[in-house]
Amino acid sequence: MKILVLNSGSSTLKAACYEFGDPPSEDPEAPSWEGKVEFDRERAALRTWSAGRMRLERQINAQSRKPATEELLTDLWSGASPLLRSSSEVGVVGHRIVHGGEFSEPTFVTPSVKDAIRRNYVFAPLHNPAGLEGIEIIEQVLGGVPQVAVFDTAFHRSIPHAAAVYPGPYEWLSRGIRRYGFHGINHEYCSRRAARLLGRELRSLRMVTCHLGNGCSLAAVREGKSADTTMGFTPLEGLMMGTRTGSIDPGVLTFLIRQDHLSADQLDDILNKKSGLAGISGLSNDMREIVSAINGGNPRAKLAFDMFVHRLTSSIAAMTAGLGGIDALVFTAGIGENSVEVRAAACASLEFLGVRLDSSKNAQQACDSDISASNSRVRVLIVRAQEDWAIASACWKLARSRSSQASTVKGV
Ligand code: ADP
């Protein structure tokens, strides 16, 4: 089955095409084709590649996303070496939708699912409209192909109220002001992948998965379900991030509103874009630049790094307390997969929990590997983020169950 995955962000659209066998591999596979559009005001930069080779690189004038997306996807079934005979070969299209509100699992797109995505615009004003636009473009370009919405919040719907409800007025809950959590597609994937790499039943494991990219969040995973996470109502809560504060005393906000007369938009800009590693170091949001500045003796880079690790380790310990112990600690995403220094510093602070890194395995940082020392009570793993493949897998499962239901009905 050919599965197309679309990840529509506020200024980019990423696409990937997978070919799944029946049954598909349990290990992640590379897409057969990938594409990306970067939208500027009136122009769109298109790139596609396959098996590591560029297929298309073009700029087009585009006032809207539809022509650019259509041109990008057409590369799949046209050109000198088309990958598909025609667009009708696409069996199902999966979309990453950031805010799923009440949805606790992936679902086929219907008019009522589209309405629900629309209702959640208030919670994710940049991302959900882009996701819905992606769905509507596919309706126009590929007609009635089945589409699946895979939500970044869904995995965290299992979080109990004690962890999900904010201790504000009780009425907040009925207004939808509660902790949702994000990065759920990758947290769920990483917890399953870690269990497989360890050769253990997912049900038997208590894990903390650390998604450390530009956005950073933890999930406490018990018996394969999210029991807690660090992001909340928005992706601003929790860990220190590249340009976001993470959690701070809300009193700072009321102070700034009163003293500096800041508007909501100005605060939003500071909290989301001028803070975190970039705000503290004054240099960059990129952990590589922070580490190289520390090596050059830069004290603000050192402070940024130490704060990042301090907040990371205290949150891992808090998640561990909620789980009543920890069997595996998983690092994923840009920093989690690549920063030897962050993993080493975090694990050194967590020795009291029985975490022991094998420093040479940590330095080799092979993806999808166990980097803990043989005497570590807690297994420590690096798992490469594979959100697109996870979305494609969710699509395959839904499409398969629909076709087996249809054949059961036919059989009756
Ligand atoms: P996103 O959250 O946008 O998907 P990524 O998961 O790609 O982001 O992570 C991006 C971040 O990963 C970069 O900002 C950088 O800080 C970090 N990163 C990437 N490569 C390395 C590396 N080799 N060493 C340390 N950090 C890295």
CATH number for the domain harbouring residue 376: 3.30.420.40
Do residues 345 and 255 share a domain? yes
Q: Does residue 410 have a pLDDT over 50?
A: no
Please state whether beta strands 369-370 and 379-382 pair in parallel, antiparallel, or not at all (unpaired).
antiparallel
pLDDT value, residue 406: 75
- From ligand 1's centre to the CA of 59, what distance in Å? 27
Do residues 302 and 218 share a domain? yes
pLDDT value, residue 412: 43
pLDDT value, residue 408: 61
Q: pLDDT tens for residues 165-199? A: 999 999 999 999 999 999 999 999 999 999 999 99
pLDDT band, very low/low/confident/very high, at 109 (cuts 50, 70, 90): very high
Q: Whose CA is nearest to atom 7 of ligand 1?
A: 334
pLDDT value, residue 320: 98
Query: Residue 282's CB: how many other CB atoms inside 10 A?
Result: 11
Do residues 119 and 224 share a domain? no
| Best residue for ligand 1 mutational test, from 338, 364, 383 (most atoms within 8 Å of Cβ) | 338
**Domain assignment of residue 179, yes or no:** no
- Between 36 and 81, name the one with better pLDDT: 36
Q: Structural domain of residue 326, as residue ranges?
A: 199-387
Q: Would you call the peptide bond into 23 cis, given omega within 30 degrees of 0 as the criterion?
A: yes
- From ligand 1's centre to the CA of 115, what distance in Å? 34
**Domain assignment of residue 22, yes or no:** yes
Pocket of ligand 1 (CB under 6 A): 213-215, 242, 285-288, 333-335, 338-339
Mean pLDDT for the stretch of residues 382-406: 93
Please state, rounded to an integer, the average pLDDT across all residues of the chain: 95
Counted domains in the chain? 2
- From ligand 1's centre to the CA of 333, what distance in Å? 7
Do residues 209 and 101 share a domain? no
CA angle 70, 74, 76 (to 5 degrees): 135
214 CA closest ligand 1 atom index: 2
| Cα separation, 300 vs 23, whole angstroms | 52
Percent share of the chain, pLDDT over 90: 90
Do residues 209 and 351 share a domain? yes
Q: Does residue 111 have a pLDDT over 90?
A: yes
| Cα separation, 173 vs 256, whole angstroms | 27
- From ligand 1's centre to the CA of 264, what distance in Å? 29
- From ligand 1's centre to the CA of 56, what distance in Å? 26
pLDDT band, very low/low/confident/very high, at 411 (cuts 50, 70, 90): very low
Of 151, 176, 208, which one is at a domain's C-terminal end?
A: 151
Q: Does residue 213 have a pLDDT over 50?
A: yes
Percent share of the chain, pLDDT over 70: 99
| Cα separation, 47 vs 164, whole angstroms | 40
Residue type, 357: L
**Domain assignment of residue 39, yes or no:** yes
Q: pLDDT tens for residues 356-376? A: 999 999 999 899 999 999 999
| Cα separation, 13 vs 133, whole angstroms | 11
Mean pLDDT for the stretch of residues 267-280: 96
211 CA closest ligand 1 atom index: 6
**Domain assignment of residue 113, yes or no:** yes
CB 146 within 8 A of CB 138: no
- From ligand 1's centre to the CA of 109, what distance in Å? 32
| Cα separation, 55 vs 81, whole angstroms | 9
Element (H, E) at 402: helix 387-411
| Best residue for ligand 1 mutational test, from 287, 289, 312, 343 (most atoms within 8 Å of Cβ) | 287
Backbone angles phi, psi at 127, to 5 degrees: -85, -45
**Ranges of H-type helices in 85-142:** 111-119, 127-142
Of 151, 167, 189, which one is at a domain's C-terminal end?
A: 151
pTM: 0.95
Of 151, 186, 218, which one is at a domain's C-terminal end?
A: 151
Do residues 227 and 329 share a domain? yes
| Best residue for ligand 1 mutational test, from 186, 190, 241, 339 (most atoms within 8 Å of Cβ) | 339
Q: Cα separations (Å) of 350 from 42, 318, 363, 373? A: 50, 12, 18, 14
**Domain assignment of residue 412, yes or no:** no
Give the side-chain half-sphere CA count within 13 A for 99. 26
Do residues 144 and 222 share a domain? no
**Residue partners of 204: CB distance under 8 A and separation at least 6:** 223, 327
**Residue partners of 246: CB distance under 8 A and separation at least 6:** 216, 230, 236, 237, 238, 239, 240, 276, 311
Residues recognised as catalytic: 152
Do residues 123 and 267 share a domain? no
Q: pLDDT tens for residues 118-169? A: 999 999 888 999 999 999 999 999 999 999 999 999 999 999 999 999 999 9
How far apart, in Å, do the first and last CA atoms of the chain sit?
26
Lowest mean pLDDT among 79-88, 126-135, 212-221, 347-356: 79-88
Do residues 208 and 346 share a domain? yes
288 CA closest ligand 1 atom index: 25
Do residues 95 and 15 share a domain? yes
Q: Whose CA is nearest to atom 15 of ligand 1?
A: 286
341 CA closest ligand 1 atom index: 25
Do residues 240 and 338 share a domain? yes
Do residues 211 and 146 share a domain? no
